Amino acid sequence: MNHAIQLRPVTMQDATLLYGWRNDVLTRQASHSIQEIPWETHLNWLEESLKNSQRVLNIAEYDHRAVGTVRADWRGDAWMLSWTIAPEARGAGHAKAMVALFAAQMKEPVCAEVKSANIASIKTAEYAGMHLLQRDHDVLTFYRSALS
Ligand SMILES: CC(C)(COP(=O)(O)OP(=O)(O)OC[C@H]1O[C@@H](n2cnc3c(N)ncnc32)[C@H](O)[C@@H]1OP(=O)(O)O)[C@@H](O)C(=O)NCCC(=O)NCCS
C-alpha cells in the first residue's frame, strides 16, 4: 500500500489533541477503561509517559495533518501496541498504514489486545504482521515475533 503516513514523537503540545481523541466515544468503547478521563489525569499521564523509557508514543501525520496516535508499552518480552485514529480521519486506511509502519520499527516482538467486535483493529493488527495468539472472552491477543 502506498500510503504516505509519517510518524513523530508526541510532545506536551499534543495534550489537547490526544485528550479529544482519548475521550471520543468509540475510543473509550475500544479501551479497557471506558470512563471519560479528566483533563488533569490526562496531563499527568502524558507527562509521565514522556519520561517513561518503557513507553513509545507517536503521532501519525498524513498530508501534514495529525490523524492518529500509536503507542508501545514494554511488557518484558514484547511491546504491547495500542492505537487510535482521529474520529474525522477514520475509514481512510490510516490505521493500517500507521500501525504497520510503527510495528516495522520494533525489532522486538509486538502484541496487541483487541476487542472481538473491533473488526477494523483486527484487520489493522493482521496487516501489521500480527496473528491471533489467544482469546480471553471478548479480548483477542495478537502477536508478532521479533524481526531478524
Ligand atoms: C479502529 C480504528 C483504529 C480504525 O482506524 P481506520 O483508520 O478507520 O482503519 P483503516 O481505514 O485502516 O481500516 C482498517 C480495515 O478495517 C476496515 N474498517 C474500517 N472501519 C471499519 C468499521 N467501522 N467496521 C468494519 N471494518 C472497518 C477497513 O475497511 C479496513 O479493512 P480492509 O483492509 O479490508 O480494507 C479507528 O476506528 C479508531 O480509532 N477507533 C477507536 C479506537 C480503537 O478502536 N482503537 C483500537 C483499540 S485496539
Q: What's the CATH code of the domain at 68?
A: 3.40.630.30
Would you say 66 and 59 are in contact if contact means Cβ atoms under 8 Å apart?
Answer: yes
Tell me the per-residue pLDDT of 90-143, one tens digit each, with 9 for 90 and over.
999 999 999 999 999 999 999 999 999 999 999 999 999 999 999 999 999 999
Residue with CA closest to ligand 1 atom 23: 120
User: pTM of the full predicted structure?
Assistant: 0.96
Cβ of 120 less than 6 Å from ligand 1: yes
Would you say 108 and 146 are in contact if contact means Cβ atoms under 8 Å apart?
Answer: yes
Nearest to 30 by CA among 95, 102, 106, 103: 95
Cβ of 82 less than 6 Å from ligand 1: yes
Would you say 67 and 17 are in contact if contact means Cβ atoms under 8 Å apart?
Answer: no
Q: How many domains are there within the chain?
A: 1
**Three cell numbers, residue 64:** 501534514
Residue 50 belongs to what domain range?
5-144
Whole-number percent of the chain with pLDDT over 90: 89
Cβ of 83 less than 6 Å from ligand 1: yes
